[in-house]
Amino acid sequence: MTSKFLLVAQREYLTRVRKKAFLVLTLAVPLLIAAFGFFMVKIIKSDEDKADVIDVRDDSRLHLAGRLQSTPQLVFRAVPGALADAKTSFQKQKHDGLLYLPADLDADKPTGVQFFGKGNISLKKQQAVETALNKAFSDIKMQQSGLSQQELDRLRSEVDLQTVSLDDDGKEADSNALATSGISYALALLIYLFIFIYGVQIMRGVGEEKSSRIMEVMLSSVKPFDLMMGKIFGIAAVGLTQFLLWGLLSFGATSLITSLAGADAPRAEAAAAPAAAPTVAATAADPAGTRLSPGAKFDQQLDRQSAQGNPANRFKIFEVLGNLPLGQILFGFIVYFLGGYLLYGALFGAVGAAVDDQTDTQQFMFPITMPLILSYIVSVSVILRNPDGPVAFWMSMIPFTSPIAMVVRLPFGVPAWQLALSIGLLILGFIGTVWVAARIYRVGVLMYGKKVTYKELGKWMFYKG
C-alpha cells in the first residue's frame, strides 16, 4: 500500500516538474516579482516626492493663510483678488485645489469654508487640508488666550514612541509593529496562494484523468484512497519545490535590482535635498509676501529619512526579527502550511472526481473556497489589528480558517495551549475531511454521465465497500 502511494506521488511530481511550463514559470516569476516591486517603489517614491499645491483665498479677518503649515506633501499658496478671480486662476493653472475662507469666518464656529478641486477630491487630500485648518484654528484660540507664537512652538511636542516587548519572565526586547505585521501578512499570503493554486491543480488533474478514462486503468492496481493521497502529496511536492526556487531566485533578483537601483541614490538625494526645501518654502507665501516655513515637523521628517537611509540603521530590522519567536513561527508555519493544504487538497480532489465537466465545478468550489477567502480577508483586516481578540481566537481554532488565521497571529506571540489546541483541531479536521473526500472520491472517479448534486454526494459517503 505504501509503495503504491509513493509511486503515484512520484508520478505526479515528475510529470509536472518536467514540463516546460514549470521551468518557464519557475524562472520567470521571480524576475517579474522583482521588477514589479522595483517599479512599484519607483512609482510610490515619485508620487511622494510630488507636493500638492493648494491655492488659498482668505477673506477672513483671522489671516489663516499665513497660519496654514505646509508639509512635504501639501503646500499652501495664498492668492490675491476676489473668489471669482481665484477660481479663474485656479482653473488655468495646474494646481491641486482651491481653499476659500469666507469673510464671516469665526474661530469658535468655523463654518462656510469651501475646498474646490478639479474633479472629485480624494479623501487623503481632504483630510490633510482639514488637519491643517484644525491646527491653525487651535493656534488662533491659544493666542487669543494670551500665548505668544514662541510659547506655542515650545508647547508642541512630537513623541518618538519606542515599542518594547515584555515576556512573562520580564525580559525586554525591541518590537516593531510594522515589521511584525509585514511578516504576518507575507506568511498568510504564502499559505493562501499555495492552497488555492495547487488545490485547483489537484482538482483539474483528477478531472482530466477521469475524462480521459485513464482512471479506470489506474484503479485496477491502486486503491482510490492511495490514488487520491498520492496525487495530493505529489502535487504538494511540486508546489514546495517551486516555492523554494521562487524564494531563492526572488531573493537574488531583488538584491541585484536593489543594488543597481540604489547605486546612484545617494548622489541623487544629495543633489535634490538642497533644492527641495527652498522650493517648498518659496511657494508657500502669505499675502504680505512673507514665506511660510514648512515647520519643525518637516525638518524632523527629513532627519528621519536621512537616518533611515543610513546603511547602519538597516540592520535594525534584523534585530527586530531576532526578537520574534522565530522557532514558534517556523514550526507553526510548516504545520499550518502542510495541514491547510492537505485539508483543502482532499476537498479539491473530491470535487474533481465528482464532476465530469470542469464547468460544473463552480457550484462545488464555492463552499470550499469561501472559508479560505473569508479567513484571508478577516486576517488582514481584523486579526492584524487585534491578534488577541475573540475573532482572532475563534478563527484560529476552526480547522478551515486556522491555517491562515493562526499564522497571522504567530509573529505577535501565541500562548502554547492555544497553539496546541489549534493544531489538534486541525489534525482532527484533516482526518474528517480526508474521510469525507475519500468516500466521495472512490465513487466519483468511476461515475460518468450523471449530473451530480449535493444530495447525491451525501449518498456517496455512506455507500458500503
> What pLDDT shows up at residue 279?
36
Average pLDDT over residues 124-152: 79
Average pLDDT over residues 155-168: 62
Cα 412 from chain centroid?
Answer: 16
The band of 26, judged by pLDDT with boundaries at 50, 70 and 90, is confident
pLDDT of 346 strictly over 80 = yes
Q: Give yes or no for a contact between 132 and 146, defined as CB atoms under 8 angstroms apart.
A: no
Task: Kindly write down the DSSP assignment for every residue of 278-318, as one continuous string.
Answer: HHHHHH-B-TTSPBPP--HHHHHHHHHHHHHHSGGGGGHHH
Domain ranges of the chain: 2-34+178-250+320-460, 51-139
- Pick from 44-48, 347-351, 360-364 the range whose average pLDDT is largest: 347-351
The band of 173, judged by pLDDT with boundaries at 50, 70 and 90, is low
Could you identify the residue written with the cell 508639509?
71
Q: What is the total residue count of the chain?
A: 465
CA distances, 185 to each of 191, 192, 196 (Å): 10, 10, 16
Cα 94 from chain centroid?
Answer: 33
Per-residue pLDDT of 55-114, as tens digits, reads 888 888 888 787 888 877 788 888 888 888 888 888 888 788 888 888 888 777 788 888
Q: How many CA atoms lie less than 13 Å away from 447 in the CB half-sphere?
A: 21
Please list the residues that pair with 101 across neighbouring strands: 58
Per-residue pLDDT of 252-301, as tens digits, reads 766 766 666 555 444 444 444 443 333 333 333 343 333 344 344 444 44
pLDDT of 423 strictly over 90 = yes
The model's pTM is 0.64
Architecture of domain 51-139: 3-Layer(aba) Sandwich (3.40)
Residues 6+ apart with CB under 8 A from 422: 396, 397, 402, 406
Cα angle for residues 352, 426, 325 (degrees, 5° grid): 125
> What pLDDT shows up at residue 393?
92
Task: Enter the C-alpha cell of residue 107.
Answer: 474661530
Query: Which 8-state DSSP code applies to residue 68?
Result: P
Helix (H, G, I), strand (E, B) or coil at 157: coil
Residues 6+ apart with CB under 8 A from 340: 191, 195, 402, 403, 404, 426
- CA–CA separation, 220 and 132 (whole Å): 76
Helix boundaries (H) for 50-105: 83-92
The secondary structure of 202-271, three-state, reads HHHHHHHHHHCCHHHHHCCCCCHHHHHHHHHHHHHHHHHHHHHHHHHHHHHHHHHHHHHHCCCHHHHHHH
Q: How many CA atoms lie less than 13 Å away from 106 in the CB half-sphere?
A: 3
pLDDT of 428 strictly over 90 = yes
Question: Considering the chain, what percentage of its residues have pLDDT values greater than 90?
Answer: 6
Per-residue pLDDT of 197-210, as tens digits, reads 888 888 887 777 77
Least confident of 10-24, 126-140, 217-231, 416-430: 217-231
> What pLDDT shows up at residue 397?
93
> What pLDDT shows up at residue 323?
64
Higher pLDDT, 83 or 147: 83
Least confident of 162-176, 424-438, 445-459: 162-176
Task: Enter the C-alpha cell of residue 213.
Answer: 478514462
Element (H, E) at 335: helix 326-354
> What pLDDT shows up at residue 159?
66
pLDDT of 371 strictly over 80 = yes
Per-residue pLDDT of 35-67, as tens digits, reads 777 777 777 666 666 778 888 888 888 887 878
- CA–CA separation, 354 and 210 (whole Å): 9
